A and B are shown apart, each in its own frame.
Chain A
Amino acid sequence: MSHTETEILTPSTTLAPEKHVLEPERSQLGFMRPDHSRSVIMDWLTTVDHKKIGIMYGAIALFFLLVGGVEALIIRTQLAIPENDLISAQRYNQLFTMHGTTMIFLAIMPLNAAFFNFLVPLQIGARDVAFPRINSFSLWAFVAGAIVINFGWVLQALQVMGLFEASGPTAGMTDLAPAMGWFGYAPLTGTNFTGAGTDFWIMGLQILGIASLSAAMNFVVTIVNMRAPGMKMMRMPVFTWMTLVVSLLIVFAFPAITIALGQLMFDRCFGTNFFVVAGGGQPILWQHLFWIFGHPEVYILVLPAMGIISEILPVFSKKPLFGYSIVVFSGAVIGFLGFAVWSHHMFTTGLGKVATAAFSLLTMAIAVPTGVKIFNWVGTLWGGRVRFSAPMIFSLGFVWMFMMGGFSGIMHSSAPADAQQQDSYFVIAHFHYVAIGGIFLAVVAGIYFWLPKMIGKMWKGNLSTWVAIFSTVGLNVTFFPMHFLGLLGMPRRTHTYLEGFGWETYNLVCTIGAYILAFGIFLLVVDIIRCFRKGEPAGNDPWDARTLEWATSSPPKVYNFAKTPIIPARDALWEDKYGPENRKVTYMDDHGHGIHMPSQSWMPFIAALGFIPVGLGMSLMQAGIPYMGYVAIFGLLVIGFGIALWAIEGPGGYHMHPEADAA
């Protein structure tokens, strides 16, 4: 910040141009605002900068990706040979439950959130998101939820060491980490079947839901309201479009799971009868409520991946995206149809012929917009000058692997076929092709594409090729045989299996594949660390890219754009570099007002931390630990206190006057 000057903006007046102070300002509470802190930790904990928040989302998500990966490796090792006894059946249940929960809610969703945070304001030419402090709150609430949901492992470890025994409502239950599957079907979640692990899962997911909802609302407002002049909706990069669609999906899909989890919590803690069969509750209700959320969730996971691919393919083909508007429209249609297909997860529950046929048809209909996207990506490549740089390799891998997952998906959409495949390894094969072959490869492509922008350093060497080879080979060796395993009748979620069903070879191959895939991910981590340590300066635009984020410096300055850009066309940077004169990006004159920056704040962090005592208190109360109800109430008070001070302290803010360099 050596070349910038910072001025204090007092809350009541507009600007005091004679002041050139770098001292923190007092908030309306009389506290010092944590701006310009010299302590690095304090700076990151209180930051409201969407770029720092994005990087933290990414780092935490990569950590949980590795945690979930280790859980998967233990599962695969257990299944390598018949009648293996590496882990107990109960531990196996806990591992597959937490593997699914971790990968979906703690790895992929926050990885997507990392890209949303870092990229969306840059891509639309904004200074930050619409509500920077809510953004900080979303991040820390996500961290609180992650801690709560994983705390069961700590309790489980204590129990194994003999230091803890559950009493109270779940006395005698030995599963203290979640063990009922990532979609928590009733009645298995009842107090007479599962222990405190289920409570950690309920409270953790509830907190993660609050984090997702607040982030999603923030992003809708940002994309609708914070666009730079000229950035019309149909000029926005496809990734930003997909962020908008996904955020709307979160806004309308998460309430269903929030209420379902609330009902389940009431069942377990306060004796209601929502899913308790003895009291007249219907377990099928849980399935409906869960999948009304759960199927949009699938698109919440995959649409950002499609957005990433739609950004990368044009850059490395030196062509605009083929059929931009139809790609955007298809994404929106996928999101919309995503609300109308939840029952295809429940074909075998006996919905009746009409409902089954309707959901079957709607599910098949989703193949149309998805196919449109695939053909548009192929159309983008067609006749382009294709460069096989790292992001491109992973993107091409995505198109192929995602399509394979899509094919088996179409097979499930036919209800009679699905009746055969339900709960078999065929389903596992399907959604891992979509999740790893689709989302994971796209996220890795995104990391290779945007990390130079995020940290300002360029990749060194071509380890990426080996990452691509090992992860793609690994995922195919792991999951392709699972199609056959499923058709041979191996049910999912089996702790072990007997010899003689013809499953032995396939399982061994799957396990070997899992280790190949794990090695590929290990290489990815090595490559990221190398990039951090030894990367050369990246420059603003290392890939000769098309969208606005590459117009900023690498890494972007805290204020993003020194002057607000005026966007004349789609692919703004490309037109600026190579387009006709009337399509160059121009910049608004700020008339010496400078850039208004929001103040940093402790309050979102404090409010979000309150979720930890709430979640742990409610769950540990169920495990029979005394006084935990009071801990939960204390947590609620912390949340209320944090939000109240947050409101009273006011947004604050100061002005910066950068030289017009970054533009």
Chain B
Amino acid sequence: MSATENEEDSHGSLVINNKKLLMWLFLGSDCMFFGTLISTHLIYRKLYPESYDPLLVFDLELTSFSTFILLMSSFLMALAVSAMHKGELKSFRRNTIGVIFFGLIFLACQVYEFAHFTNEGLTLSTNTFGSTFYMMTGTHGVHVAIGVFWLLCLYFYSYSGKMDAHESAVDVEVAGLYWHFVDIVWIIIFTAVYLIEYIPGLH
């Protein structure tokens, strides 16, 4: 076997960037995190259908609005990644600040929702619905908050003059992967926790 053939092998092993592969692994792991949380919620919901009626507190308009906002933030995130690939710093900043802003709106909606639910008498310790609901959506909220903080760091870093398409595109792309994942998880939570309650005669 000649040396040239072997060198081709080495290129074969570097098909995906290290940082990106690490993020994909983390997201695979995170799937299991949310899988555990969501299934805990659904199991208890099925086990105690009569214990609590979430429609008493759910506000589908508000949650739909915040879901839409989060979806749109993903769109802006994709634009930010694409801008960084082209090295367009201004466009990157504009889109990133948009993602941050939308992320904050989502978090504000969640804070409002939690406060509203608590006022209505649903707390962590009211029943299993309260426990699973707050822990699951809270974990998701923490993910969003970490994402917002991360993007803020990238945003300010972009003023340091050290960011360019060659060095930083992959960093932004990794942050983007994380953001899209958090978005997708919310779509699942929105469906399996909120929308499903509106199916007539489910319980």
Which residues of A are at the interface with B, using a C-beta cutoff of 8 A?
12, 130-131, 213, 217-218, 220-221, 224-232, 251-256, 258-260, 262-263, 266, 270-274, 279-282, 285, 289, 566-568, 582-583, 586, 588, 644, 647
Q: List 18 A-B contacts (CB under 8 A).
A: A220-B21, A220-B25, A221-B21, A225-B13, A229-B6, A230-B6, A231-B13, A232-B9, A256-B36, A263-B40, A272-B130, A272-B131, A274-B132, A274-B135, A282-B44, A285-B40, A586-B6, A588-B7
Q: How far is the CA of A540 from the CA of B14 in the complex (A)?
A: 30
| Chain B residues within 8 Å of A252, by CB | 28-29, 32
For B24-62 the 0/1 string (1 means CB < 8 A from A) is: 011011101101110010011001100100000000000
Stretch at the interface among B70-78, B97-105, B121-129: B121-129
Interface members, chain B 127-172 (any A CB < 8 Å): 127-128, 130-132, 134-135, 153, 162
| Chain A residues within 8 Å of B13, by CB | 224-227, 231
Given the known interface contacts A274-B131, A281-B128, A647-B153, the answer about A224 and B36 at a Cβ–Cβ threshold of 8 Å is no
| Chain A residues within 8 Å of B51, by CB | 280
Q: How far is the CA of A253 from the CA of B35 in the complex (A)?
A: 12
Q: How far is the CA of A226 from the CA of B14 in the complex (A)?
A: 8
Given the known interface contacts A131-B22, A228-B10, the answer about A280 and B29 at a Cβ–Cβ threshold of 8 Å is no
Q: Could you tell me the distance in whole angstroms from the C-beta of A285 to the nearest C-beta in chain B?
A: 7
Q: How far is the CA of A227 from the CA of B135 in the complex (A)?
A: 41
| Chain A residues within 8 Å of B40, by CB | 259, 263, 274, 285, 289
List of 10 A-B pairs having minimum Cβ-Cβ separation, nearest first:
A229-B10, A255-B32, A272-B131, A271-B125, A230-B6, A259-B36, A255-B33, A217-B25, A566-B6, A280-B128
How many interface residues does chain B have, given as a range?
35 or more
**Interface pair A263/B29, CB less than 8 Å apart:** no
**Interface pair A225/B131, CB less than 8 Å apart:** no
User: Does B16 lie at the interface of the complex (its beta carbon under 8 Å from any beta carbon of A)?
Assistant: yes
| Chain A residues within 8 Å of B9, by CB | 229-232
**Interface pair B29/A130, CB less than 8 Å apart:** no
Q: How far is the CA of A607 from the CA of B22 in the complex (A)?
A: 19
User: Does B199 lie at the interface of the complex (its beta carbon under 8 Å from any beta carbon of A)?
Assistant: no
| Chain B residues within 8 Å of A644, by CB | 153
| Chain A residues within 8 Å of B47, by CB | 282
**Interface pair B29/A213, CB less than 8 Å apart:** yes
User: Does B202 lie at the interface of the complex (its beta carbon under 8 Å from any beta carbon of A)?
Assistant: no
Q: How far is the CA of A586 from the CA of B47 in the complex (A)?
A: 64
| Chain A residues within 8 Å of B29, by CB | 213, 217, 251-252, 254-255
User: Does B119 lie at the interface of the complex (its beta carbon under 8 Å from any beta carbon of A)?
Assistant: no
**Interface pair B18/A255, CB less than 8 Å apart:** no
**Interface pair B131/A266, CB less than 8 Å apart:** yes
Q: How far is the CA of A384 from the CA of B136 in the complex (A)?
A: 57
Q: Could you tell me the distance in whole angstroms from the C-beta of A272 to the nearest C-beta in chain B?
A: 4
Q: How far is the CA of A263 from the CA of B133 in the complex (A)?
A: 12
Nearest CB in chain B to that of A650: its residue: B162
| Chain B residues within 8 Å of A258, by CB | 33
Nearest CB in chain A to that of B160: its residue: A28
By CB atoms of chain A within 10 A, which of B6, B21, B125, B132 has the most? B6
**Interface pair B7/A251, CB less than 8 Å apart:** no
Q: How far is the CA of A258 from the CA of B18 in the complex (A)?
A: 25
**Interface pair B10/A225, CB less than 8 Å apart:** no
Q: How far is the CA of A279 from the CA of B37 in the complex (A)?
A: 18
| Chain B residues within 8 Å of A289, by CB | 36, 40
Contact of A566 among B7, B16, B134 (CB under 8 A): B7
| Chain A residues within 8 Å of B10, by CB | 227-230
Taking A263-B131, A279-B125, A567-B6 as given, write out 7 further A-B residue pairs in contact, using a Cβ cutoff of 8 Å, ordered by the A residue number. A131-B18, A226-B13, A229-B10, A259-B37, A266-B124, A274-B135, A279-B131
Q: How far is the CA of A229 from the CA of B3 in the complex (A)?
A: 9
Given the known interface contacts A225-B18, A263-B40, A280-B127, the answer about A566 and B25 at a Cβ–Cβ threshold of 8 Å is no
| Chain B residues within 8 Å of A254, by CB | 29
Task: Say what secondary structure dominates the interface of chain B.
Answer: helix
Nearest CB in chain B to that of A219: its residue: B25
Task: Say what secondary structure dominates the interface of chain A.
Answer: helix
Q: Could you tell me the distance in whole angstroms from the C-beta of A599 to the nearest C-beta in chain B?
A: 17
| Chain B residues within 8 Å of A281, by CB | 128, 131
Which residues of B are at the interface with A, using a C-beta cutoff of 8 A?
1, 3, 6-7, 9-10, 13-14, 16, 18, 21-22, 25-26, 28-30, 32-33, 35-37, 40, 43-44, 47-48, 51, 124-125, 127-128, 130-132, 134-135, 153, 162
**Interface pair B22/A130, CB less than 8 Å apart:** yes
**Interface pair B25/A272, CB less than 8 Å apart:** no
**Interface pair B43/A217, CB less than 8 Å apart:** no
| Chain B residues within 8 Å of A256, by CB | 32, 36
**Interface pair B22/A270, CB less than 8 Å apart:** no
Q: Could you tell me the distance in whole angstroms from the C-beta of B36 to the nearest C-beta in chain A?
A: 4
Q: Could you tell me the distance in whole angstroms from the C-beta of A494 to the nearest C-beta in chain B?
A: 33
**Interface pair A255/B36, CB less than 8 Å apart:** yes
| Chain B residues within 8 Å of A12, by CB | 162
| Chain A residues within 8 Å of B153, by CB | 644, 647
Q: Could you tell me the distance in whole angstroms from the C-beta of B136 to the nearest C-beta in chain A?
A: 10
**Interface pair A280/B48, CB less than 8 Å apart:** yes
Q: Could you tell me the distance in whole angstroms from the C-beta of B129 to the nearest C-beta in chain A?
A: 9
By CB atoms of chain A within 10 A, which of B25, B35, B128 has the most? B25
| Chain A residues within 8 Å of B28, by CB | 251-252
| Chain A residues within 8 Å of B130, by CB | 272-273
| Chain B residues within 8 Å of A221, by CB | 18, 21-22, 25
Q: Could you tell me the distance in whole angstroms from the C-beta of A603 to the nearest C-beta in chain B?
A: 15
| Chain A residues within 8 Å of B44, by CB | 280, 282
Contact of A586 among B3, B14, B131 (CB under 8 A): B3
Q: Could you tell me the distance in whole angstroms from the C-beta of A394 to the nearest C-beta in chain B?
A: 33
Q: Could you tell me the distance in whole angstroms from the C-beta of B140 to the nearest C-beta in chain A?
A: 13
Nearest CB in chain B to that of A267: its residue: B131
| Chain A residues within 8 Å of B124, by CB | 266, 270-272
| Chain B residues within 8 Å of A230, by CB | 1, 6, 9-10
By CB atoms of chain A within 10 A, which of B14, B22, B124 has the most? B22
| Chain B residues within 8 Å of A262, by CB | 135
Q: Could you tell me the distance in whole angstroms from the C-beta of B178 to the nearest C-beta in chain A?
A: 14
Q: How far is the CA of A261 from the CA of B130 in the complex (A)?
A: 18
Nearest CB in chain A to that of B125: its residue: A271
Q: Could you tell me the distance in whole angstroms from the C-beta of A137 to the nearest C-beta in chain B?
A: 13
| Chain A residues within 8 Å of B36, by CB | 255-256, 259-260, 289
By CB atoms of chain B within 10 A, which of A130, A226, A280 has the most? A280
Nearest CB in chain B to that of A564: its residue: B10
| Chain B residues within 8 Å of A280, by CB | 44, 48, 51, 127-128
| Chain B residues within 8 Å of A226, by CB | 13
Nearest CB in chain B to that of A255: its residue: B32
Nearest CB in chain A to that of B8: its residue: A229
Q: Could you tell me the distance in whole angstroms from the C-beta of A127 to the nearest C-beta in chain B?
A: 13
Q: How far is the CA of A588 from the CA of B28 in the complex (A)?
A: 35
Nearest CB in chain A to that of B51: its residue: A280
Q: How far is the CA of A78 from the CA of B48 in the complex (A)?
A: 46
Given the known interface contacts A221-B18, A221-B22, A586-B3, the answer about A263 and B32 at a Cβ–Cβ threshold of 8 Å is no
Q: How far is the CA of A281 from the CA of B10 in the complex (A)?
A: 53
Q: How far is the CA of A227 from the CA of B3 in the complex (A)?
A: 16
**Interface pair B18/A568, CB less than 8 Å apart:** no
Nearest CB in chain A to that of B135: its residue: A266
Q: Could you tell me the distance in whole angstroms from the C-beta of A608 to the nearest C-beta in chain B?
A: 18
Q: How far is the CA of A227 from the CA of B36 in the complex (A)?
A: 34
